[in-house]
Structure 1
Amino acid sequence: VGLYVDPPDHAVVLSVDESERVNATGSSERANQIQALGRTQRPLPMKPGHAETRTHDCRRNGTTCLLAALDTATGKVVGQTVERHRSAEFLAFLDHVAEGIAPGTQVHVILDNVSSHKSAEVHEWLKGRPDWTFHFTPTSASWMNAVEGFFSKLARQRLKDAVFDSLDECIAAIEGCIEHHNASDARPFRWSRKPEDLVEAWKRGHQKLDEMASNE
């Protein structure tokens, strides 16, 4: 949280994470892939007196994973779609992000505490880049990662209830959303939650876990 409210001078603070999945009903769930869902027939458009209609069944046209990095100083997003999210894809994405950062710049990366972010390959990558520092969010605290706001926007504005006839069409829609966001909607990220709110959320979470354990 300190990196949000009082970032280091002359440093870049990045919020990095992988995408959510949007299923056929339009709801989203935490996962590593976005599905390109089509319909067996094209939807019939809305017209006076009639709502838009769609077939009840869908056609799966493949999946992709979006890796994204949000620059908290500008609100701009760098994104890259990949077939899978492993350490290899994660490091390739970081190399892609690093291309847009001046050499010698201190870079602080806020990211989830998952295995693909902590592998031996990742540790080796960091050894060769002393200007880069990772800061992991607590377990089950993805909501603390600023880029989650962009994923929510992507799901609401572009992926929810969308119909894609191919995976390429889905990827193009994601890339178009990122491009539009960076050109028109990007704003510096501002952390608004109070410290006491975080403490209370932490207490409630542990209380819930204790209750679940006692009921087993």
Structure 2
Amino acid sequence: MARSGRSKPALVLNEQERDQLQRWARSRKSSRALALRSRIVLGCAAGADNKSVAAELGCSAATVGKWRSRFVKSRLDGLSDEERPGRPPRITAEQVEEAVAATLESTPANATHWSRAKMAERTGLSKSSIGRIWKAFELKPHRTDGFKLSNDPLFVEKVYDIVGLYLHPPENAVVLSVDKKSQLQALATSQPASPMMPGMSERRTHDHVRQGTTSLFAALNVADDTVIASTHRRHRTSDFKKFLAKIEDQVPAHLDVHVVCDSHGTHKHPSIKKWLESHPRFTTHVTPTYSSWVNQVERLFAQVTRELLQRSDFRSVQALEKDLRGWGRTWNENPKPFVWTKTADEILASLGRLPPRTTGAGH
């Protein structure tokens, strides 16, 4: 005679319970656990035994038995997770508020910013608790970001002008982003570097021997990212005029030339103005003060610094200049154009969202 096992408690749903369980089972907003439990109850209410429901839903028979019993005992409330026992929180909301307020509104004695140890001493909490509070509120007292707002009275007009060139360049013209990276030092390590080996990074001495300086003049074609470059030991008006003459020679004669540059004194010298007047196809567009970010050639300077200069070892200025010229030639062999996407309106809107308050005003 077959064993019938223990009899299952009756599971009968009323109309409201069935509707709610079906909503939980179908809703995308329900958790996966609640949706599974709802399907278990619906399957059991349809008359299926625990094993059949478990096989259909891909879970164990013990899981089906658990939630069937929980529903029979507590109905819909039985499908929610029970509160787990544990130690009550030792940090109160008032202590969290105090730590956050102190971090934002004060500085420790004899220090410029809070550390976890100093804040723990101030609040009486542990350093790990302070770390968790700062992480939860995304507070990083040890870090700072830089900014400099332009005080140029024509800031808006200049941004519209230059961004308009990037997004809608004029026909039969080339747009060149022009600037110089001055005071590039030819630095030689005081001792030969220790090469990289498996499990060991390259090692360099912390001190250098200065061999002299040079300046890199660059004109970045914003359409194809090719660059016209030259090096000069000094940054004089005559050097900048020579660079303009190089641009004149290398840009096809039938194209107008729009030059985006900053307001450095060298660029505004009377001799430069006179040169530009004698070359009417050149038009200059001056970037606002403190706004080098709008000049695309800064991307090129960041690249050459990262790839060539940061870990350099030059025994002479001539070696530095040779490598700079070689880097420029290699860059032009496979340029990767940068696509400017931000409109002037979007840029001005993002600047308008900068926090209006500053710390230490008047100092």
Q: TM-score, normalised by structure 2?
A: 0.52
Corresponding residue number in structure 2 for 1:16: 178
What is the alpha-carbon distance in structure 2 between the residues aligned to residue 136 and residue 52 of structure 1?
A: 43
Q: How does 1:64-143 map to 2 (within 5 A)?
A: 64-143=214-293
Provide closer, same or farther for how the CA distance between residues 57 and 214 of structure 1 changes in structure 2, counting only shifts above 3 A.
closer
Provide closer, same or farther for how the CA distance between residues 206 and 115 of structure 1 changes in structure 2, counting only shifts above 3 A.
farther
Post-superposition shift, 1:205?
7.1
Q: 1:3 aligns with which of 126, 144, 165?
A: 165
Corresponding residue number in structure 2 for 1:193: 342
What is the alpha-carbon distance in structure 2 between the residues aligned to residue 121 and residue 15 of structure 1?
A: 21
What is the alpha-carbon distance in structure 2 between the residues aligned to residue 201 and residue 67 of structure 1?
A: 31
Which amino acid is the alignment partner of residue 69 of structure 1? A
Provide closer, same or farther for how the CA distance between residues 49 and 189 of structure 1 changes in structure 2, counting only shifts above 3 A.
closer
Corresponding residue pairs, total:
201
What is the alpha-carbon distance in structure 2 between the residues aligned to residue 106 and residue 59 of structure 1?
A: 45
Post-superposition shift, 1:201?
4.8
What is the alpha-carbon distance in structure 1 between the residues aligned to residue 264 and residue 316 of structure 2?
A: 30
Q: What SS is found at the alignment partner of 1:148? A: helix
Q: TM-score, normalised by structure 1?
A: 0.86
Which amino acid is the alignment partner of residue 136 of structure 1? V
Structure with the greater alpha carbon radius of gyration? 2
What is the alpha-carbon distance in structure 1 between the residues aligned to residue 355 and residue 197 of structure 2?
A: 50
Q: What SS is found at the alignment partner of 1:54? A: coil
Higher relative strand content:
1
What is the alpha-carbon distance in structure 1 between the residues aligned to residue 285 and residue 345 of structure 2?
A: 21
What is the alpha-carbon distance in structure 2 between the residues aligned to residue 61 and residue 191 of structure 1?
A: 38
Provide closer, same or farther for how the CA distance between residues 62 and 205 of structure 1 changes in structure 2, counting only shifts above 3 A.
farther
Post-superposition shift, 1:197?
3.7
What is the alpha-carbon distance in structure 2 between the residues aligned to residue 65 and residue 202 of structure 1?
A: 32
What is the alpha-carbon distance in structure 1 between the residues aligned to residue 330 and residue 281 of structure 2?
A: 30
Post-superposition shift, 1:207?
4.4
Give yes or no for contact 1:112–1:138 (8 Å, CA) kept in 2: yes
What is the alpha-carbon distance in structure 1 between the residues aligned to residue 339 and residue 200 of structure 2?
A: 42
Post-superposition shift, 1:202?
4.0
Provide closer, same or farther for how the CA distance between residues 205 and 127 of structure 1 changes in structure 2, counting only shifts above 3 A.
farther
Post-superposition shift, 1:213?
8.7
Residue 215 in structure 1 maps to residue 362 in structure 2: yes
Q: 2:311 aligns with which of 151, 161, 172?
A: 161
Which amino acid is the alignment partner of residue 5 of structure 1? L
Q: What SS is found at the alignment partner of 1:13? A: strand
Provide closer, same or farther for how the CA distance between residues 87 and 197 of structure 1 changes in structure 2, counting only shifts above 3 A.
same
Higher relative helix content:
2
Post-superposition shift, 1:106?
1.2
Kindly report the root-mean-square deviation, in angstroms, between the aligned alpha carbons of the 2 structures.
2.0
Post-superposition shift, 1:13?
0.7
What is the alpha-carbon distance in structure 1 between the residues aligned to residue 237 and residue 246 of structure 2?
A: 14
What is the alpha-carbon distance in structure 2 between the residues aligned to residue 207 and residue 119 of structure 1?
A: 36
Give yes or no for contact 2:225–2:337 (8 Å, CA) kept in 1: yes
State the Cα deviation string for residues 122-155 of structure 1 (Å, max 9, x = none): 1101110111100000001111111111111101
Post-superposition shift, 1:212?
7.0
Q: What SS is found at the alignment partner of 1:33? A: strand
Unaligned runs of 5+ in 1: 20-31
What is the alpha-carbon distance in structure 2 between the residues aligned to residue 127 and residue 213 of structure 1?
A: 46
Q: 2:323 aligns with which of 163, 173, 192?
A: 173
Provide closer, same or farther for how the CA distance between residues 101 and 155 of structure 1 changes in structure 2, counting only shifts above 3 A.
same
Provide closer, same or farther for how the CA distance between residues 201 and 90 of structure 1 changes in structure 2, counting only shifts above 3 A.
farther
Give yes or no for contact 2:172–2:254 (8 Å, CA) kept in 1: no
Corresponding residue number in structure 2 for 1:22: none
Which amino acid is the alignment partner of residue 192 of structure 1? T
What is the alpha-carbon distance in structure 2 between the residues aligned to residue 215 and residue 204 of structure 1?
A: 23
Corresponding residue number in structure 2 for 1:152: 302
Give yes or no for contact 1:4–1:189 (8 Å, CA) kept in 2: no
Give yes or no for contact 2:195–2:202 (8 Å, CA) kept in 1: yes
What is the alpha-carbon distance in structure 2 between the residues aligned to residue 203 and residue 97 of structure 1?
A: 37
